[in-house]
Amino acid sequence: MSFKSLGLSEALLKAISKKGYTKPSPIQKKAIPPVLEGYDVLASAQTGTGKTAGFTLPLLHILSENPKEKFRPIRALILTPTRELAAQVYANVREYSEFLNLRSAVIFGGVNQKPQVATIRQGIDVLVATPGRLLDLQNQGLLSLKRVEMFVLDEADRMLDMGFLRDIERVIKLMPEKRQNLMFSATFSKDIKKLAHGILTNPVQVEATPENTTVEAITQKVYRVAKGKKSGLIIKLISEGNWKQVLVFTRTKHGANNLCKKMIGAGITAAAIHGNKSQGARTKALSGFKNGGINVLVATDIAARGLDIPLLPHVVNFELPNISEDYVHRIGRTGRAGAKGEALSLVSADETTYLRDIQKLIDMKIPVEVIEGFEPDPNASTAPIKPGQNRQRRNNNQGGERRSKKTNTNTNSSRSSNRNNKSRRPKRNNERRN
């Protein structure tokens, strides 16, 4: 099957050819025809399967076939969970629409809104956005979604993980009821299917690969290791293996920063990327990683969504995710476009339950290895650490002196402290509000 046989316009075929695409991927073969026919679509595909083209190509075809007004209202909205994914999707939209008379824009938080607003005011057909910035500009009266004809919810599973359900519901209410809806997700959980039921109308369901399977081109391995020896082990593997491009996953932003510092101290060029980093720092880190200036990129799951890194040879789970489906998405960063890839996981005793759940999900027993000098602690508890438990332990360890000092303060100081505490506002979750 060729792209031409899918019914795409000559202008799109020209752009596809320029990109070097020769034939559609499985998800593109399955998703593009029903989208072109006007159906709502619920699609599941692993990272690296070409799902972005699976919805952008038919979307651009449909918009280009319909007449345009002199002032262009927003006719298509593509909603993504992260800044990086929004930027990647926007880049694809621009490349595919090179020979079409269509305008597009991208908006996300963490940067000045003025250039984004200026572009929107000129009139655009396609808007790629993250929920936070989209609703912010809409509340300011700087954009309208009343003329949206096509709505795409990309990485829907991550949207829910990040707590964007209410924002999605708010966005839905801002658009016309009559529109074409497309939902793409790496996984099909019960929550995703429930969300789809509320958004899609009689959708065509397509799936490029069996649900929650891992790419055959990826070699998977588990290293059993003591929790306190993980940093030393990953530094040894990267240094002795002379690995030049490694994506490392941690569960927390603090963990990413801490590991990055240790790697730099060991002479490894590394950078951390997560929600607390500014957009400029995230862009700089990703650029350095792609051009070889940085060998190791340490990331959280949320920040890593949408990272477009071709032919990535190594992915390391420094910490296993507590959501099994995230393992599939993490290791899907390697073994892309037919290339071989290696996915390694450093597993301590308290991650035993996570490993068991992952192996059950992918229906595979992952080979295990133990390296001399980094053996697991036989006396360590296998009970999983609950989210936030490490932070609580750090606070408890550091709080003894603070508490003892408080017992010696006078009443006025205590009252002053209480007043100050009441006036403090909770910090905003930068990783969620994109």
What confidence score (pLDDT) does residue 1 get? 75
What confidence score (pLDDT) does residue 45 get? 74
Rounded distance, CA 364 to CA 9, Å? 43
pLDDT exceeds cutoff 50 at 398: no
- pLDDT class of 211 with cuts at 50, 70, 90: low
- Longest Cα–Cα distance of the chain, Å, equals 81
What confidence score (pLDDT) does residue 69 get? 66
- pLDDT class of 121 with cuts at 50, 70, 90: very high
Closest CA to 109 of 276, 273, 255, 253: 276
Average model confidence (pLDDT) for the chain?
84
Average pLDDT over residues 404-429: 42
pLDDT, tens digit, 9 for 90 and up, residues 28-72:
999 999 999 999 999 987 666 788 999 999 999 999 988 666 678
What confidence score (pLDDT) does residue 25 get? 86
What confidence score (pLDDT) does residue 209 get? 61
Q: Which of 1-10, 184-193, 250-259 has the lowest mean pLDDT?
A: 184-193
Average pLDDT over residues 328-353: 82
Whole-angstrom Cα Rg for the chain: 24
Domains of the chain: 4-207 (3.40.50.300), 218-369 (3.40.50.300)
Q: Which residue has the higher pLDDT, 407 or 179?
A: 179
- pLDDT class of 338 with cuts at 50, 70, 90: low
pLDDT exceeds cutoff 60 at 432: no
Instruction: State which of 257-266, 270-279, 290-299, 310-319 shows the largest mean pLDDT.
Output: 257-266
Q: Which residues contact 230 (CB under 8 A, 6 or more apart)?
A: 318, 319, 346, 348
Instruction: State which of 54-58, 216-220, 279-283, 396-400 shows the largest mean pLDDT.
Output: 54-58
Q: Which residue has the higher pLDDT, 25 or 153?
A: 153
Average pLDDT over residues 328-332: 80
* Amino acid at site 101: N
Model pTM?
0.65
Average pLDDT over residues 284-307: 82
Tokens of 213: 């399977």
Closest CA to 182 of 31, 64, 306, 6: 31
What confidence score (pLDDT) does residue 58 get? 96
Rounded distance, CA 177 to CA 229, Å? 55
What confidence score (pLDDT) does residue 304 get? 65
Rounded distance, CA 424 to CA 420, Å? 7
pLDDT exceeds cutoff 80 at 385: no
Tokens of 25: 């991927």
What confidence score (pLDDT) does residue 409 get? 40
pLDDT exceeds cutoff 70 at 333: yes
The percentage of the chain sitting over the pLDDT mark of 90, rounded to a whole number, equals 53
pLDDT exceeds cutoff 70 at 74: yes
Q: Which of 278-292, 318-332, 399-413 has the lowest mean pLDDT?
A: 399-413
pLDDT exceeds cutoff 80 at 389: no
Rounded distance, CA 178 to CA 161, Å? 28
Q: Which residue has the higher pLDDT, 340 or 129?
A: 129
What confidence score (pLDDT) does residue 410 get? 43
Q: State which H helix or E strand residue 45 sits in.
A: none
Contact assessment for residue 154 and residue 79, using Cβ atoms and an 8 Å cutoff: yes
Average pLDDT over residues 197-222: 79
CA distances from 366 to 15, 73, 251, 268, 338 (A): 41, 51, 21, 28, 21
CA distances from 431 to 171, 253, 327, 404 (A): 19, 9, 20, 35
Which residue spans within 215-339 are E strands per DSSP?
A: 218-224, 246-249, 270-273, 296-299, 314-317
DSSP state of 426: P
What confidence score (pLDDT) does residue 287 get? 84
pLDDT exceeds cutoff 70 at 257: yes
Q: Which residue has the higher pLDDT, 245 or 306?
A: 245
Q: At what angle do helices 165-174 and 131-139 cross, to 10 degrees?
A: 40
pLDDT exceeds cutoff 50 at 412: no
What confidence score (pLDDT) does residue 308 get? 64
What confidence score (pLDDT) does residue 387 get? 55
Contact assessment for residue 6 and residue 35, using Cβ atoms and an 8 Å cutoff: no
Closest CA to 171 of 122, 198, 220, 138: 138
What confidence score (pLDDT) does residue 391 get? 46
Closest CA to 188 of 163, 175, 167, 207: 207
Rounded distance, CA 50 to CA 27, Å? 7
What confidence score (pLDDT) does residue 191 get? 84
Closest CA to 349 of 251, 221, 232, 222: 222
